[in-house]
A and B are shown apart, each in its own frame.
Chain A
Amino acid sequence: MEGLNIPLNHILLIASLLFVIGMLGLMIRRNIIFILMSLEVMLNSAALAFVAAGAHWGQPDGQIVFMLILSIAAAEVAVGLSLVLQVQRRFRSLDMDSLDWMRG
Chain B
Amino acid sequence: MRELIGLIPLIPLLSSATLMLFAGHLSRFAIGLLGVGSVGIAAILTAKMGIDFLGNPEVFKVTLWTWMQVGTFSSDVAFYFDGLTLVMMSVITGVGFLIHLFSTEFMEEDVSYARYFAYLNMFVAAMLILVMADNLLLLYLGWEGVGVCSYLLVGFWYQNSANGYAARKAFIVTRIGDTLMALGLFLLFTELGTLDIQALGDAAKDKWQVGDSMPLIACLLILGGAVGKSAQLPLHTWLPDAMAGPTPVSALIHAATMVTAGVYLIARTHELYLFAPIAMIAVALVGLATSLMAAFTALTQHDIKRILAYSTISQIGYMFLALGVGAWTAGIFHLMTHAFFKALLFLGSGAIIHCLHHEHNIFKMGGLRTRMPVTFWSFMIGSAALAALPMTSGFFSKDQILLQAYQVDGIGPWLWFGGLVGALLTAVYSFRLVFVVFFGQVNTEPDKDTGWRMVIPLSLLCILAMMGGWIIIPVTQVFPLAVFEHPAHWVEYVSIAVPIVGVIIAYLIFLGGQLKVDVFTNSFVMQKLQQFWFSGWRIDWLYDQLLVRPYYGLARALKLEPVDNFYRLVVTISQTFNQWLSAGQSGQMRRYITSMVFGLIVLLAILVRAS
Q: Which residues of A contact B (CB under 8 A)?
A: 23, 26-30, 35, 96-97, 99-104
> Quick one: which of A26, A101, A102, A104 contacts B590, CB cutoff 8 A?
A26
Are B594's CB and A103's CB within 8 A? no
- Compute how far the CA of A50 lies from the CA of B499 in the bound complex, rounded to whole angstroms: 124
Name the segment of B487-495, B531-539, B580-588 touching the other chain: B580-588
Max count, chain B CB within 10 A of own CB: residue among A27, A29, A101, A103: A27
CA distance A104 to B590 in the complex (A): 12
Mostly helix, strand, loop or mixed at chain A's interface?
helix
CA distance A104 to B592 in the complex (A): 10
**Contacts A100-B588, A101-B587 known; 6 new A-B pairs at CB < 8 A:** A27-B593, A35-B589, A99-B587, A100-B587, A103-B587, A104-B587
- How far apart are A5's CB and chain B's nearest CB, in angstroms? 30
Main secondary structure of the interface of B (DSSP, over half): helix
A102 touches B597 (CB 8 A): no
In the assembled complex, the CB of B237 is this many whole angstroms from the nearest CB of chain A, namely 68
Chain A minimum-CB-distance residue to B588: A100
Cβ contact within 8 Å between A97 and B590? yes
- Say yes or no: A27 contacts B597, CB within 8 Å: yes
Please indicate the chain A residues that have their CB under 8 angstroms from the CB of B593 in the complex. 26-27
Alpha-carbon distance A102/B588, docked complex (angstroms): 9
- Greatest chain A CB density within 10 A among B589, B593, B594, B597 is at B589
| Chain B, interface residues (CB within 8 Å), range | under 10
A66 to B87, CA, bound (A): 114
Report the minimal beta-carbon distance from B591 to chain A, rounded to whole angstroms.
9
Chain B positions within 8 Å of A97 at CB level: 588-590
Which residues of the partner chain B approach A28 to less than 8 Å between Cβ atoms?
A: 590
Q: How far is the CA of A96 from the CA of B588 in the complex (A)?
A: 8
Residue of B nearest to A24 (CB): B597
Residue of B nearest to A23 (CB): B597
CB-CB < 8 A to B594: which residues of A? 27
Complex CA–CA separation, A35 to B593 (angstroms): 11
Q: Which residues of A lie under 8 Å from residue B597 when comparing CB positions?
A: 23, 27
Shortest beta-carbon distance, B589 to chain A, in Å? Answer: 5
Question: Measured between alpha carbons, how far is A30 from B587 in the docked complex, in Å?
Answer: 13
Contact A103 B585 (CB under 8 A): yes
**Complex alpha-carbon distance, A50 and B594, angstroms:** 25
Chain A residues near B589 (CB-CB < 8 A): 35, 96-97, 99-100, 104
B30, chain A: closest CB distance, angstroms = 79
Chain B residues closer than 8 Å to A101, beta-carbon distance: 587
Contact A27 B590 (CB under 8 A): yes
| Closest Cβ neighbor of B589 among chain A residues | A96
CA distance A34 to B587 in the complex (A): 19
A67→B594 CA distance, assembly (Å): 29
What is the minimal beta-carbon distance from B3 to any residue of chain A, in angstroms?
Answer: 84
Cβ-defined contact, A30 with B590, below 8 A = yes
List B residues 551-602 near A (Cβ within 8 Å).
585-590, 593-594, 597
With a cutoff of 8 Å between Cβ atoms, the chain B residues found around residue A35 in the complex are: 589
| Minimum C-beta distance from B578 to chain A (A) | 14
| B:366-410 near A, CB below 8 Å | none
Bound CA span A103–B587, Å: 4
Chain B residue nearest to A30 in the complex (CB): B590
A9→B458 CA distance, assembly (Å): 127
A85 CB to nearest B CB, Å:
18
Cβ of A31 to closest chain B Cβ, rounded Å: 11
